Amino acid sequence: MNLIPKILIFIIIEVRWTNSQEFYGTCNRPFSCGTISGFQYPFRRHQDPAQCGYPGFELNCDEQNLPTINITNIRYQVLGIDPTNQILKLVRGDMIDSICPQDLVNTTIDHELFDYTSSYTNISFLFGCPISFDVVGMIDSFLCGNNGVSPVILVPGAQGPGLCKTSVVIPSPVGFMSSTGLVQVLREGFDVRWKVESRPCTDCTLSGGQCVYDVRASLTTCACPEPPLLADSCSKVNKPEVSSPSSSSSSSSPGTPCF
Ligand SMILES: *[C@@H]1O[C@H](CO)[C@@H](O)[C@H](O)[C@H]1NC(C)=O
Ligand SMILES: *[C@@H]1O[C@H](CO)[C@@H](O)[C@H](O)[C@H]1NC(C)=O
Ligand SMILES: *[C@@H]1O[C@H](CO)[C@@H](O)[C@H](O)[C@H]1NC(C)=O
Residue 161 Cα, ligand 3 centroid: separation in angstroms?
A: 7
CA distance 193 to 101: 23
Distance 68 CA to ligand 1 centre (A): 10
- Chain length of the chain: 259
Q: What's the 3-state SS for 182-238?
A: HHHHHHCCEEEEECCCCHHHHHHHHCCCEEEEECCCCEEEEECCCCCCEECCCCCCC
The pLDDT profile of the chain, 259 residues, written as one tens digit per residue, is: 455 555 544 444 444 444 544 567 767 578 999 999 999 999 999 999 998 999 999 999 998 999 999 999 999 999 999 998 999 999 999 998 888 898 999 999 999 999 999 778 899 999 988 888 878 788 888 888 765 567 889 898 999 999 999 999 999 887 655 555 677 778 888 999 999 887 778 888 888 888 889 888 888 888 888 877 777 778 754 444 444 343 333 333 333 333 3
- Quote the CA–CA distance of 75 and 92 in Å, as a whole number: 6
pLDDT the model gives residue 170: 92
192 beta partners: 88, 116
Pocket lining: 74 vs ligand 1, CB cutoff 6 Å: yes
Ligand 1 mutation pick, 70, 72, 73, max ligand atoms within 8 A of CB: 70
Atom number, ligand 1, closest to the C-alpha of residue 93: 5
Q: What was the pLDDT predicted at 215?
A: 86
Rounded to two decimals, the pTM is 0.79
Check residue 233 and give its pLDDT.
Answer: 76
pLDDT score at 11: 44
> Ligand 2 pocket by C-beta < 6 Å: which residues?
121-122, 158, 169
Q: Could you tell me the CA-to-CA distances from 243 to 10, 18, 80, 249 in Å, in that order?
A: 12, 19, 49, 17
For residues 150 and 131, is the Cβ–Cβ distance under 8 A? yes
Q: What is the dihedral of CA 239, 243, 244, 245, to 10 degrees?
A: -90
Site to probe by mutation for ligand 1, drawn from 46, 47, 48, 75 as the one with most ligand atoms within 8 Å of Cβ, is 75
> What is the SS3 assignment for 95?
helix
For residue 77, which ligand has an atom nearest its CA?
Answer: 1
The pLDDT assigned to 259 comes to 33
Q: What is the pLDDT of residue 36?
A: 96
pLDDT of residue 174: 73
Residues 6+ apart with CB under 8 A from 44: 27, 28, 50, 52, 53, 57, 58, 59
Q: What is the pLDDT of residue 57?
A: 97
Ligand nearest to the CA of 68: 1
Position 195 scores a pLDDT of 93
Name the phi and psi angles at 222, rounded to 5. -115, 125
pLDDT at 231: 77
pLDDT of residue 253: 33
